[in-house]
Amino acid sequence: MSVIPASVSPMLGRLADERATGALIREHGTLYLADGRIVHAESPATPGMDVLLTTGGAVQADRWWEAVDRAGARRRVGRYLVEQGRLSDGALELCHLGAVFDAAYFTLAPSSGPTRFRYGVSHWFGAVRPVPVAAVERETRRRRELLQRIWPEPDTDTAPLARATGLELPVPARRRRVLELVDGARTASEIALTLGRPAFHTLVDLRRLAAGGLVTPALPEPATTPAVPEWMAHAAVEDPDVALLRRLRAALEAL
């Protein structure tokens, strides 16, 4: 008997069934739906379409902002880029689909924060190719399982990362670029933003580096104890209740 996988988000499944249009807002991001299908997604953990398109040189930064200025209010930024010859239809669909799956993975991460849905809300970028909710949930589960197989410790996904010392191993060029940005302070999301790459792909590279012993979560800096004036140190030695009793005894003896 086949086992039906549990829904990644029961609320998202209900919205798909009712063919809802609006924005599903969760702790780690937002999914935009039209007629029950996902048309856009964004998360603070992932680079947006602006970074993905401009960092790699697919669209010049000034052309991007021109599109936002002229087509954002009409929610047609993506289509405007194609109509003006800044981007091909195929390149737009490929980049946007990757961005949707990337942001959806983080948005649908387990959390204890509130979830709410705002009916009728749409994103200024505009729809490109709607994606069924079932496909997004299926891809989200696949990505979780892939990361678990590579390296089961999830700290590398969110913590500042440091390079392991005294270990040199050959690393593929793509992964080497990720490793070069590991500096003890940057997180996986910050590295992805710097490279202009999807954040999930960066997680995969970092977990492979962690599995090879080349990357570890950075140790927190030791807390510094502020200097205490000498008179305060002496005053803190004696229990205040004992000090009060001694002063009372002194006063009684004086009487």
Contact 196, 47 (CB under 8 A): yes
Site of tokens 């670029």: 177
Site of tokens 């999830």: 154
Contact 27, 114 (CB under 8 A): yes
The residue-averaged pLDDT of 29-43 equals 97
Task: Provide the 3-class DSSP secondary structure of residue 200.
Answer: helix
pLDDT tens-place string over residues 165-215: 877 788 999 999 999 999 999 999 999 999 999 999 999 999 999 999 999
Contact 210, 164 (CB under 8 A): no
Distance CA 189, CA 103 (A): 11
Q: What is the pLDDT of residue 251?
A: 63
Whole-model pTM: value is 0.82
DSSP H or E stretch at residue 23: strand 22-26
Question: What is the separation of C-alpha 43 from the centre of its chain, rounded to a whole number of angstroms?
Answer: 6
Comparing CA positions, the residue from 21, 66, 59, 60 lying closest to residue 40 is 21
Site of tokens 């440091």: 162
Residue 155, judged by CB atoms within 10 A of its CB (0-12, 13-18, 19+), counts as exposed
pLDDT higher than 90, residue 118: yes
